[in-house]
Chain A
Amino acid sequence: MQLWSASNLVVAGLLLAGLTLLLIGRRHRLWREVFVQLRRRRPLALLVVAGYVTVALLDSVRWVGGVDAGGDVVAQHEARSVLDRLFAGRRERSYSAPLADREFYGHAPLRHPGGHLLGTDILGRDVLLLTLKGARVALLIGGLTSLIAIPLALLFGVSAGYWGRRIDDGVFFVMSTLASMPTLLLLIALVMVLGRSTVAVCLALAVTSWVGFCRLARGETFKLREMDYVQAARALGVSDLRILLRHIVPNLMHLVVITFVLMFSGLVLSEAILSWLGLGIEGSWGQMIDQARDELSRDPAIWWNLAAAGVALFTLLLAVNFVGDAVRDILDPRTRREPT
């Protein structure tokens, strides 16, 4: 199977999963409440996040053909996303300032005068397109890494907290070992070992980021384990596994949601730092920023590249943080409505 068709399948799966979750969520009062409250409290942030997700999905659906490649054999067999197709044939020869009608250096006339909202880079690629394509990478890093790290942390944290003793000792040993190494060095080493593919970078980020949540889940489980309702369940002969699934994990869910949101922004930032060190993922905002570093020192300076990636990164993180803050407030039982 080709890489691009796998990507399409993943998109289809994600859409399906999202839809199912939405349907399940509608039936649970708590999650419905979260959504309603979110729409009421942070409509703009929610809209921004939804926009980024849409762009990322548009960039993930790809197929071959349908574009006039002008006799270029490689280009003919290249899988292009919906986003690519929207910007097809808009390449320039070199730098163009935003909305300019001549090239930045040399003042040769452009192929599409005034058609580049955010200008072009050194290879003449539209910066707007590059920025939009960065959304996919950012969401992939945040999402995939969280998907690896959070279940891992939950599994270790809950078992350590619930059974304690040896298991706790083991988990704690691993956690302390990881925490005792400088995160950035560990990250660099892992990327060097695992390679620079997207999945490898995500894996490396996951390994370095699960410890925090694991500690949180462990502590919370310690507390929950001694709650009277868990004791009552034990007195009722309920099995450990069932207690974990029915009593402990559901009562950790609010932490999971909050951690996901906070982790997400942290991860996107980490990737930017990795890119800056030359170890990031192809096409990420971090890489754009890295490349734009040198361009700033030209005279006159090329500023739009850096600005576009920076603003896109900043906006996404701000929106996600706003949403996360709101979700935390909504899920906090103390702010939930009291019995009437």
Chain B
Amino acid sequence: MSPTPMLQLESLTTTFPGERGPVPVVDDLSLTLTRGEVLALVGESGCGKSVTALSILRLVPRPGRIERGRVLFGGRDLRTLPVAQMRAVRGAEIAMIFQEPMTSLNPVLGVGAQVVEAIALHQPLPRQAAWQHAQQLLALTGIPDPVGRMRNYPHQLSGGMKQRVMIAMAIATRPALLIADEPTTALDVTIQAQILELLRELRQQLGTAVLLITHDLGVVNELADRVAVMYAGRMVELGPREQVLSEPRHPYTQGLLRAMPARARRGQRLTEIPGVVPAPQHWPAGCRFATRCPLAQALCHEVVPATTALSPTHEVACHAVARADWPMPRAGSQRLSLPHGPGAGPSGPSGPAGPAGPAGPSRSPRSLQQAERGAASDARPAQAGPAAAAALGRETGAPLLRVEELRTWFPIRSGMLQRSVGWIKAVDGVDLICPAGRTVALVGESGCGKTTVGRSILGLERARAGRVYFDGVDLLALSPRQLLPYRRALQIVFQDPMASLDPRMRARDIVAEGMISFRIGANDRERTERVAELMRRVQLDPDQMGRYPHEFSGGQRQRLCIARALAVGPRLLICDEATSALDVSIQAQILNLLRQLQDELQLSFLFITHDLGVVRYLADRIAVMYLGQVVEEGSTERIFEAPQHPYTRALLAAIPAIDPARRQARARVRGDVPSPARPPPGCRFHPRCSEAQARCPIEAPPLFPWADGRSRCFLAAQPPHGGPAADQPVRSTSDGRGSAPPGRTLVVRAKLAVEGGARPLDLEPAGTLFERPRKQRAPLRLLAQRHMNVAQLREHLRASHLLLAGGELEQERA
């Protein structure tokens, strides 16, 4: 460690008033930061990380106040500095980057003006010079075309770009210290990798020290030199990155690392930390982690552990570490037995929560479910169809759900009459298969349409074309009334548990809602019993069924959402980012619960997420989406070990490493995802692809079979001569070789189904371009690309319901 600390916190204590006196949200925190160093402040939400940062800048929101301690920065105590001087420190010497770049920029000012303002506040420069300096800063942060971007408004920039602008503003005055509060949390993996790279470069170029606040241990590994772990307002462990991540000594740090799904092996139960971080007014007296700690003894609940120095640089605040005679399992052993159930008092789960679940309780709900399924079909013969088919499907192992050529477009309306002037092709030809009892993950960055796929399958969003077969029945072809029985079989769990629970309904009514609409349970008493049963199943205390959602913790709310979905006995559960909003330890609890439910109820999951760590742990198969299309699909092992599509490879490369021995997150793609309103022609990924060829911008690749799945990349295509005759593209026969000059197309005439005037006529089913006709119902001219022959095209159009019953397709000229 370098000897001169630049920033030194000495027993910093920040309090917020509580009902019984002030509550220390940051309690007795001491740490130092040297010049050019990156210190990561890690912990779950509600541990006081952000308040620490705000305390340094003296920006703690009222009614909070800094109670005790000193904040020494360059020899001055920032706590006692006059307000005017403090203002000069903020921004000039200490700058901050916030989590949400969308709300941190003023939407009515151009970004250039905002960067100039940041400069002008601390450096009196002539306007012209400031403007040029701002351009240099933007260029430094890697924004393409900084001169042009200066005049743009925030809404014209993507999230990653906005974060670059924020960074440019923060480094405008070359601050000695940069506080980055969750700088990449709101960003996609590939953008996160770009920002992490940028921060690394800036630190090398400018020698700025960084206080990095994050909950993501991967980001910590990629960027930090030292790590400070916080729990409930106190620092529990501090040390060099390699040591803390590879040999954590505090039980909380150990728990955090083990709860990470990316570190666990598939099929293995995640080691969870029981309970939740308590609210500050309920922080226990002794060691604050004692209520959730597997090693806790009587002493822990009474005495605050002192900090033990394991080495000059590594300190831990734990009784178990301080004393050699502590009865504890060896640190680092995987078989650390953690108690399940109510460790954390009233908020903890108290149902049967063993890893495998004892035979008794696990069987009864299933029989209950079967009985009630039978009862339902007795009562309403119309429901016997899907139920019987369900039993059949499960036995034969046929795919439970098959999605073909799904398209969901949203109109862009404008003008006085709100005519649609274009389409946002959120989902544009997605194929997907979910086998019964398995987990399929749909992966992609934000805006790729993965959520819309889930919602379209459920009929929450109306698909424009395609088929969704559930047990062999096309759900999209059903009327709302016919669809009703299938609603039982398909359920969804959303990302934000708070938003997905009606704040004015009690837990019982929330869970019972679906039962009422499907007439499950004869009366209220029976339904209440079943709600209790379900609550136990998701490890919630049935005594809490009278509570309102805001009285539950985040993890408990998500359990409630799962219970609501399970209440109607679904067979496929669509989890739309179901664990993304949760802290690591809570995420582990929910993932374990989902696995357990899958085993017990033979549930199938369609897991929609951007978190590849979770995917690797949970999924059997993966489908990667990009701009409304599935670009690669295959088994989890193969995708992670041998990704074929360049986008998949870029996505995987961007994941921060969790192995402290290496840092791997590399930004392999540049730029941002294009707008789905105007997807690039040809292969949609080609503008960002490092391996794009001449044909990529012109032809759209179909899904080629590849290994144990499929890939939408020409690199995965078999050589043209190799395939059987029927597969020979029409164009390729004309010049005898597979490499026709790009842009030559097959022109055919077809009579297509055109419903109403609003029907878009620039459909692009797998590489087919339609010419816009002058009159409706007029024959369309199709420009098919050469990987399709006439027969294939005809088949394709029929299957997409685009070809009228009497419609024909004939080749006009080759």
- Among listed B222-230, B485-493, B589-597, B624-632, interface-contacting one: B485-493
**Interface residue? B502 (CB, 8 A):** yes
Q: How far is the CA of A128 from the CA of B458 in the complex (A)?
A: 67
B513-545, CB under 8 A of A: which get 1 and which 0?
A: 110011000000000000000000000000000
Q: How far is the CA of A336 from the CA of B564 in the complex (A)?
A: 25
Q: Do the beta carbons of A340 and B282 come within 8 Å of each other?
A: yes
Interface residues of A, dominant DSSP: helix
- Contact among B282, B499, B514 with A237 in the assembled complex (CB-CB below 8 Å): B514
- Quick one: which of A229-246 are within 8 Å of B by CB? 229, 231-239, 242, 246
Task: Give chain A residues whose Cβ lies under 8 Å from the Cβ of B727.
Answer: none
Q: How far is the CA of A276 from the CA of B553 in the complex (A)?
A: 57
**Interface residue? B501 (CB, 8 A):** yes
Tell me whether A338 and B492 are in contact in the complex, defined as CB-CB below 8 angstroms, given that A235-B487, A246-B502 are known contacts.
Answer: no
A30 and chain B: residue at smallest CB distance: B504
Tell me whether A251 and B503 are in contact in the complex, defined as CB-CB below 8 angstroms, given that A237-B514, A338-B550 are known contacts.
Answer: yes
**Interface residue? B484 (CB, 8 A):** yes
**Interface residue? A247 (CB, 8 A):** yes
Q: How far is the CA of A72 from the CA of B97 in the complex (A)?
A: 86
Interface residues of B, dominant DSSP: mixed
Q: Do the beta carbons of A236 and B514 come within 8 Å of each other?
A: yes
A200-239, CB under 8 A of B: which get 1 and which 0?
A: 0000000000000000000000000001110111111111
B483 and chain A: residue at smallest CB distance: A237
**Interface residue? A250 (CB, 8 A):** yes
Task: Give chain A residues whose Cβ lies under 8 Å from the Cβ of B490.
Answer: 235
Task: Give chain B residues whose Cβ lies under 8 Å from the Cβ of A229.
Answer: 499-502, 510
Q: Do the beta carbons of B491 and A233 come within 8 Å of each other?
A: no
**Interface residue? A300 (CB, 8 A):** no
**Interface residue? A182 (CB, 8 A):** no
- Number of chain A residues close to chain B: CB under 8 A: 24
Q: Do the beta carbons of A235 and B488 come within 8 Å of each other?
A: no
- Number of chain B residues close to chain A: CB under 8 A: 35
Q: Do the beta carbons of B514 and A339 come within 8 Å of each other?
A: no
Tell me whether A235 and B460 are in contact in the complex, defined as CB-CB below 8 angstroms, given that A333-B550, A338-B279 are known contacts.
Answer: yes
B219 smallest CB distance to A (angstroms) = 28
- Quick one: which of A246-284 are within 8 Å of B by CB? 246-247, 250-251, 253
Instruction: Output the residue of B455, B500, B513 with the most chain A CB within 10 A.
Output: B513
**Interface residue? B197 (CB, 8 A):** no
**Interface residue? B561 (CB, 8 A):** yes
A185 smallest CB distance to B (angstroms) = 27
A333 smallest CB distance to B (angstroms) = 7
Q: How far is the CA of A238 from the CA of B505 in the complex (A)?
A: 15
Q: How far is the CA of A228 from the CA of B491 in the complex (A)?
A: 13
B157-177, CB under 8 A of A: which get 1 and which 0?
A: 000000000000000000000
**Interface residue? B231 (CB, 8 A):** no
A196 smallest CB distance to B (angstroms) = 41
Task: Give chain B residues whose Cβ lies under 8 Å from the Cβ of A242.
Answer: 517
Q: How far is the CA of A236 from the CA of B406 in the complex (A)?
A: 22
Tell me whether A228 and B500 are in contact in the complex, defined as CB-CB below 8 angstroms, given that A235-B490, A237-B487 are known contacts.
Answer: yes
B331 smallest CB distance to A (angstroms) = 34
Instruction: Output the residue of A236, A250, A338 with the most chain B CB within 10 A.
Output: A236
Ordered nearest first, which 4 A-B pairs have the shortest CB separation? A228-B500, A236-B514, A237-B487, A228-B494
User: A251-B503, A253-B504 are known contacts; what are 17 more A-B pairs with Cβ within 8 Å?
Assistant: A228-B494, A228-B499, A229-B510, A231-B460, A232-B492, A234-B460, A235-B491, A236-B487, A246-B502, A246-B513, A247-B505, A250-B504, A333-B503, A336-B550, A338-B279, A338-B550, A340-B551
Interchain residue pairs with CB less than 8 A apart (14): A227-B499, A228-B494, A229-B502, A229-B510, A231-B494, A232-B500, A235-B460, A236-B487, A236-B518, A237-B568, A246-B513, A338-B550, A339-B551, A339-B552
